[in-house]
A and B are shown apart, each in its own frame.
Chain A
Amino acid sequence: MILTGLALLLLVLLGAPLFAVIAASTLLAFARTDADLTVVIIEIYRLAEMPVLLAIPLFTFAGYLLAESRAPQRLVRITNALLGWLPGGLAAVVLVVCALFTAFTGASGITIVALGALLYPALKQAGYPERFSLGLITTSGSIGLLFAPSLPLILYSVVAQQLNIGQPVAISALFIAGILPGILIIVLLAIWGLWQQRSHEIPQAPFSAREALAAVRDAAWELPLPIIVLGGIYSGYFAVSEAAAVTALYVLIVEVFIHREIRLPDLPGVMRESMVLVGAILIVLSMSLASTNYLLDAEVPAQLFAYIREHVQDKYGFLLLLTLFLLVLGMMLDIFSALVIMVPLMLPIAIGYGIHPVHFGIIFLATMEIGYLLPPVGMNLFIASYRFNRPVLEIFRAVLPFIAILIFAVLIITYWPWLSLGLLPH
Chain B
Amino acid sequence: MKRIFLIITVLTFVFAGCTDKFEEFNTDKKNPAEVPGEVLFSNAQKELADYVNNTNVNINIFKLMAQYWTETTYIDEANYDLITRNISTNIYLRAYLRILKDLDEASSLIESSEVIAIEEVAKQNRLQIIELLNVYVYSHLVDVFGAIPYTEALNIEDVYPSYDMGDDIYADLFVRLDAALDNLDASEGSFGAADFYYSGDVASWIAFGNSLKVRMGITIADANSTLAQTAIEAAAANVFASNGDDCLMPYTSSAPNYNQLYADLIASGRHDFVPANTIVDVMVPLADPRIPYYFTDMVDTSTEAGVVKMAWVGGAYGYPNSFSQCSHIGSAIEAADFPGIMMTYSEVCFYLAEAAERGYSVGGTAEAWYNKGIEASFDFWGVSGAAAYLANPDVAYTTAAGTWRQKIGIQSWLANYTRGNEAYTNWRRLDFPILNLPEQAVTYDDIPVRFTFPVNEQTLNDVNYEAASTLVGGDLITTKVFWDVN
| A associates with B | no
